Amino acid sequence: MNKYIKVVCFLLTTILFTKQLHAQETFINNVNMAYLDKLVATAKKNYPEVKVRQSAVKAAHSNYNATKFAWLDGLTASYIYSPQNLVNQAQPTIFKGYQLAITLSIGQLLKNPSVTSAASETYKIAQYQQAEYMLSLEAQVRKLYFSYLAAMTELRLRSGAVTDANSAVKQLKYSFQKGETTFQIYNEQLNSYYNQNSFMVQAELATWTAKTNLEELLGVKLEDIK
């Protein structure tokens, strides 16, 4: 019985010590704000939706500039040519030669200010939407970066837990072979070891998923950003 107590005490001591070490793990210490700023800048440069917003602003600006001179659409110029030696009895004219006539549509002239004003507002809306999207994109990059760091921290914890469980299994196997512990205790620790391996696989999947989601916004691999 004393041997069993020693083994159990050893395992409890190992588990408590391991938990204290793991409890000190935090991803906050791994946050690199300068690197995060590079990630944000990369996303703003490469992500296709950013280019869509930029094109929308340019198109709205071009349309706004075009409406400033839309009143010219109501301006019509024409000319009449009356030869010097021609006498028109039906419609006698005083002026001979080329005569220039210019007409201006009052309706078009009055409508133009409202059209220009609407185009100006559309241009502003495009700018606001672009600014809003940039803020949203930056927030997404930051969230995904933090999620990636948290996933890597979890993976390190799970990896450490697997190593600890493996060491405990080896110790219990040795004790079991010497008759210092029961098969039940050894089997429970073996199941714990298998569970920790399963948790580590899940942590690996979460890490790769977080990395993939972040790289989707960046347009490049994380390894390519120094």
The full DSSP string for 168-192 is HHHHHHHHHHTTSS-HHHHHHHHHH
* Cα atoms found within 13 Å of the Cα of residue 186, Cβ hemisphere only: 14
Write out pLDDT tens, residues 101-122: 556 656 555 566 677 888 889 9
CATH architecture of 2-69+117-224: Up-down Bundle (1.20)
Write out pLDDT tens, residues 159-200: 988 888 888 888 888 887 888 778 888 888 888 889 889 999
Tell me the residue length of the chain.
226
Displacement of CA 3 from its chain's centroid (Å): 58
Mean local confidence (pLDDT), 78-104: 54
Going from N- to C-terminal start, the domains of the chain cover 2-69+117-224
Question: Which residues are registered as beta bridge partners of 102?
Answer: 77
pLDDT at residue 97 is higher than 70: no
Beta strands in the chain (DSSP E): 75-82, 97-104
Quote the CA–CA distance of 119 and 111 in Å, as a whole number: 13
Quote the CA–CA distance of 141 and 119 in Å, as a whole number: 33
Give residue 3's pLDDT: 47
Higher pLDDT, 104 or 12: 104
Q: Are 116 and 68 in contact (CB under 8 A)?
A: yes
pTM confidence score = 0.68
Quote the CA–CA distance of 167 and 26 in Å, as a whole number: 24
Give residue 44's pLDDT: 94
At 105 the three-state DSSP class reads coil
Q: Are 169 and 195 in contact (CB under 8 A)?
A: no
Question: Which residues are registered as beta bridge partners of 101?
Answer: 78
